[in-house]
Amino acid sequence: MPIITLTSDMGTSGYYVGSVKAAILSKIPSATIVDITHHIRPFHISSAAFVIRNAYNQFPQGTVHMVSVDALNNRSPRFLLLQADGHYFIGADNGLFSLALIKQPDKVFEIAFAPNSPVATFPARDVFAPVACHLLQGGQPDAVGKQVTDYLRPTAWQPTYDANSITAVILYIDEYGNCICNLDSTLFAQIAKGRAFVIDVKGYAIDSISRAYSDHPQGEIVALFSSSGMLELAMNHGNMAELIGLKEGDMVKINFA
Amino acid sequence: MPIITLTSDMGTSGYYVGSVKAAILSKIPSATIVDITHHIRPFHISSAAFVIRNAYNQFPQGTVHMVSVDALNNRSPRFLLLQADGHYFIGADNGLFSLALIKQPDKVFEIAFAPNSPVATFPARDVFAPVACHLLQGGQPDAVGKQVTDYLRPTAWQPTYDANSITAVILYIDEYGNCICNLDSTLFAQIAKGRAFVIDVKGYAIDSISRAYSDHPQGEIVALFSSSGMLELAMNHGNMAELIGLKEGDMVKINFA
Amino acid sequence: MPIITLTSDMGTSGYYVGSVKAAILSKIPSATIVDITHHIRPFHISSAAFVIRNAYNQFPQGTVHMVSVDALNNRSPRFLLLQADGHYFIGADNGLFSLALIKQPDKVFEIAFAPNSPVATFPARDVFAPVACHLLQGGQPDAVGKQVTDYLRPTAWQPTYDANSITAVILYIDEYGNCICNLDSTLFAQIAKGRAFVIDVKGYAIDSISRAYSDHPQGEIVALFSSSGMLELAMNHGNMAELIGLKEGDMVKINFA
């Protein structure tokens, strides 16, 4: 039976996550539920998208990913089921999945539910969990609602560049203070053309790409293309974001010689 | 096989939760264990009761709920197994379950254990887990100890009211800063009799009950009867408790016209 | 099938833990994965060792313990599989297991992997998970690499003592603020020889060993040999570490009459 993953901003100090799992296990006692995280910053769609983007395709094909972040974003919340890349995604129509998915979704369905039903405060338990169970039990995706094409598709922040420079931003700061930027190695190589370069972040300069954090002595700043495939700025055995005072959204400039 | 849920104030940074799960899985390798939360404020019985009250009956009948909060509350700790509402509850005789349960328990058993056994510092692992496994393996509840009636039954904080006003308190503040009060919609309707009203919280006035957070613009204060069935004061896309400086136990006054 | 436990400093706010579980469940959909903790202080080997030491042997024989703390500690990281005490341990050659294991390991294998493989930033997912799956599927430990004896074996901090005193240090502070010291009851009894004593911690004096936190009134300082078997200094219903300002590594002096 496929896996269900949970990603949310619910935290783990209340009854919310337990209630969602109860809703799933009441229908499917043998379900395999994997928490990706419940510590997305409240309402922070782009952080959630980054986490989903890096986690989802590690799971087997057919996995159902429930994402409850900013799910009640407007007066008439609209909930979606997406089929994409061999996976299912359930969440609100708030643009999150367009930022998270590597490929365009194959099909998008609007989840039908009675507009006056008491779902208005807890869609993860009352809407997403039943849809996830439907899919796990072999139900067809088109049974949950009509196919739509008019869902929200925000444009992800893309790095800007010219012949001799790239300007990226910090997308995400992890538990270690490592700063992951919206720049992959393909674009970097395309502009770099093998030239020397300086990565400038808040006045600190990095002039090489490392293979591992430990290529430099402890406490030194390192740039590498990490397990997420994106440019990561880190400090070997230190918390780079804290020490230099970086936050998500900060700019990183790369100049090529 | 029934589910075991875990609720505690152990946190998740040490070896405690892992040890409890090991104690269960050593006896029943296929047990389904669901963490409700391990982040109850240490020794905070009323928060734990609120979480249990809102989570337990989402689980299937027969679920075993282990609750380890303030379990060593006195020199001769006493541990209970309760049968209530089709569920089992295991924890200390500290009044928590009387606050948590919607109905009176059907039966309460005092868990027998050797008074000089080394349970004095870790009852969740050494007492509660074995009792939970006993139940999961089809054991009878009365095999764990003698039935008792003299367990602690504190009175839950109830709202006070007269013909034209209700005074409630904030029972619980969740991860989003939403403030849940000890007032359900039945009592509210009974006093309101359809009249206009003002909810006064720290000088802020709310004069309507919303159906959803998003009934008001972002940043506005909203009152609604939430997924828990209780009055909830929230800020659409904001952290109400932080911004207004509310804490659990604060008073909320409702005046009817 | 044996259990896999996970211990790391990855935190639970990103995609790292989800990715590790995905790597395991992709190969073994029915795997039982138990999080011990992902909140080890980043790079803090001795805290991780304390947690593992107290958790591992509660699990059934044959359990596979994956530990990812400071796994990329040097330029040429080296990863080990240990067989010890009927359990398997997978992690980096950074000395952690020598501090964690009660007995010497029976056998230690160096995990073979291609030195230029992209494991350099995420060994838990890319190296440890596949080795764990190999073992769960009945694979032999010696198939993962050659047996070695030259792994790191740091000496654990031992208490110092003479005929009339013991000097210990605080190894670990738990969620409740309880302070666990590197002193077990055997050494204590050996020096004490039944004499009166004073435990001095930051000027506070404790002159008895209790059986339970609640042997003293709330707010009083208590010393006991806890569920970990080590000397623990605690405050009944209070956070001792916070109130007295203690931290891991602080000294505790015991003088015998």
Mean pLDDT of C200-227: 86
Q: Which residue of C lies nearest to A174 if distances are taken between CA atoms?
A: C14
State the pLDDT at residue A75: 65
Q: Could you count the other beta carbons within 10 Å of the beta carbon of residue B248?
A: 17
E strand map for B151-220: 160-161, 165-173, 179-184, 197-201, 204-206
State the pLDDT at residue A140: 95
Q: Please give the DSSP secondary-structure letter assigned to residue A232.
A: E
State the pLDDT at residue C118: 55
At B192, the amino acid letter reads A
Find the angle CA(C175)-CA(A51)-CA(C115) to the nearest 5 degrees: 90
Q: Which residue of B36, B54, B212 is in closest CB contact with A75?
A: B212
Q: Please give the DSSP secondary-structure letter assigned to residue A255.
A: E
Q: Which residue of B42, B75, B121 is in closest CB contact with C227?
A: B121
Whether C14 and chain A come into contact, CB under 8 Å, resolves to yes
Cβ distance of B60 and A25 shorter than 8 Å: yes
Report d(CA A88, CA A143) in Å as an integer: 14
Beta bridge partners of A82: A89, A108
Q: Which residue of C lies nearest to A38 if distances are taken between CA atoms?
A: C13
Which positions of chain A have pLDDT values less than 50? Answer: none
Q: What is the mean pLDDT of chain B?
A: 90
- Which residues 6+ apart lie within 8 Å of A114 measured at CB? none
Cβ distance of C59 and B29 shorter than 8 Å: no
**Chain A: partners with 3+ C-beta pairs within 8 Å:** B, C
Chain A residues close to B39, C-beta within 8 Å:
12-13
How many angstroms away from the CA of B51 is the closest CA of chain A?
Answer: 5
Q: Please give the DSSP secondary-structure letter assigned to residue B125.
A: I
Q: pLDDT > 90: what percent of chain B?
A: 69
A-B CB pairs within 8 A amount to: 94
Q: Please give the DSSP secondary-structure letter assigned to residue A124.
A: I
Report d(CA C17, CA C21) in Å as an integer: 6
Q: Is A121 exposed, middle or buried (0-12, 13-18, 19+ CB in 10 A)?
A: buried
State the pLDDT at residue B217: 79
Among C21, C32, C76, C133, the residue to mutate for chain A (most A Cβ within 10 A): C21
Find the angle CA(B76)-CA(B80)-CA(B82) to the nearest 5 degrees: 165
Q: Helix (H, G, I), strand (E, B), or coil: what is residue A254? A: strand
Whether B77 and chain C come into contact, CB under 8 Å, resolves to yes
How many angstroms away from the CA of C218 is the closest CA of chain A?
Answer: 25
How many angstroms away from the CA of A107 is the closest CA of chain C?
Answer: 24
Q: Which residue of C13, C26, C42 is in closest CB contact with A37?
A: C13
- Phi, then psi, of A113 in degrees rounded to 5: -150, 155
Report d(CA C235, CA B236) in Å as an integer: 41
In chain A the first and final C-alpha atoms are separated, in Å, by 54
Cα dist from A249 to A69, A229, A252, C19, whole Å = 19, 19, 9, 24
Whether C98 and chain B come into contact, CB under 8 Å, resolves to no
Max CA distance (Å), chain B: 62
Report d(CA A224, CA A234) in Å as an integer: 8
Predicted TM-score of the model (pTM): 0.89
pLDDT tier, B118 (very low <50, low <70, confident <90, very high otherwise):
low
Among C10, C35, C37, C220, the residue to mutate for chain B (most B Cβ within 10 A): C37
Structure tokens at A122: 């807890």
Report d(CA A254, CA A168) in Å as an integer: 8
Cβ distance of A26 and B59 shorter than 8 Å: yes
Whether A73 and chain B come into contact, CB under 8 Å, resolves to yes
State the pLDDT at residue C28: 96
Chain C residues close to A172, C-beta within 8 Å:
14
Q: Which of B107-116, B227-236, C140-149 has the lowest mean pLDDT?
A: B107-116
- Phi, then psi, of A135 in degrees rounded to 5: -70, -40
Q: Helix (H, G, I), strand (E, B), or coil: what is residue B10? A: coil
Mean pLDDT of B212-233: 84
At B61, the amino acid letter reads Q
Is pLDDT of C87 > 80? Answer: yes
Alpha helices in C67-203 (DSSP H): 96-100, 123, 129-136, 185-192
Q: Which residue of A19, A25, A77 is in closest CB contact with B32?
A: A25
State the pLDDT at residue C12: 94
Contact C43, A78 (CB under 8 A): no
Report d(CA A169, CA B215) in Å as an integer: 34
Q: Which residue of B5, B12, B60 is in closest CB contact with A18?
A: B5
Structure tokens at B205: 């006035």
**Chain C: partners with 3+ C-beta pairs within 8 Å:** A, B
Q: Is B8 exposed, middle or buried (0-12, 13-18, 19+ CB in 10 A)?
A: buried
Among B227, B231, B232, B236, the residue to mutate for chain A (most A Cβ within 10 A): B227
Q: Helix (H, G, I), strand (E, B), or coil: what is residue A16? A: helix
Q: Is C247 exposed, middle or buried (0-12, 13-18, 19+ CB in 10 A)?
A: exposed
For chain C, positions 217-256, list CB contacts with chain A under 8 A.
none
Q: Which residue of A37, A174, A226 is in closest CB contact with C18?
A: A37
State the pLDDT at residue A114: 60
Q: Which of A118-122, B95-99, B184-188, C251-255 has the lowest mean pLDDT?
A: A118-122
State the pLDDT at residue C42: 84
Q: Helix (H, G, I), strand (E, B), or coil: what is residue B202? A: coil
Contact C31, C92 (CB under 8 A): no
pLDDT tier, C158 (very low <50, low <70, confident <90, very high otherwise):
confident
ipTM: 0.87
Chain C residues close to B4, C-beta within 8 Å:
none
Max CA distance (Å), chain A: 62
Cβ distance of A60 and C122 shorter than 8 Å: no
Q: Which residue of B lies nearest to A115 if distances are taken between CA atoms?
A: B211
pLDDT tier, B200 (very low <50, low <70, confident <90, very high otherwise):
very high
Q: In what order do the strands lie in the sheet with A79-84?
A: A32-37, A3-8, A64-68, A87-92, A79-84, A107-110
- Phi, then psi, of C16 in degrees rounded to 5: -65, -50
- Phi, then psi, of B45 in degrees rounded to 5: -60, -40
Report CA dihedral (C25, C30, C32, C38) to the nearest 10 degrees: 20
Chain B residues close to C35, C-beta within 8 Å:
12, 17-18
Comparing CA positions, the residue from C160, C164, C182, C130 lying closest to residue C24 is C130
Is pLDDT of B114 > 80? Answer: no
E strand map for A52-135: 64-68, 79-84, 87-92, 107-110
Crossing angle of helices C45-55 and B16-27, in 10° steps, is 30
State the pLDDT at residue C114: 60
Chain A residues close to B239, C-beta within 8 Å:
42
pLDDT digits (tens, 9 = 90+) for C90-112: 999 999 998 899 788 999 999 99
Comparing CA positions, the residue from C93, C90, C92 lying closest to residue C81 is C90
Which residue has better confidence, C202 or C119? C202
Contact B41, A5 (CB under 8 A): no
Structure tokens at B96: 């928590």
Cβ distance of A18 and B55 shorter than 8 Å: yes
Q: Which of B107-116, B240-249, C127-136 has the lowest mean pLDDT?
A: B107-116
Contact B237, B219 (CB under 8 A): yes
How many angstroms away from the CA of A51 is the closest CA of chain C?
Answer: 5
Q: What is the mean pLDDT of chain C?
A: 90
pLDDT digits (tens, 9 = 90+) for C40-83: 988 888 889 999 999 999 999 999 999 999 887 766 789 999 99
Mean pLDDT of B44-71: 93
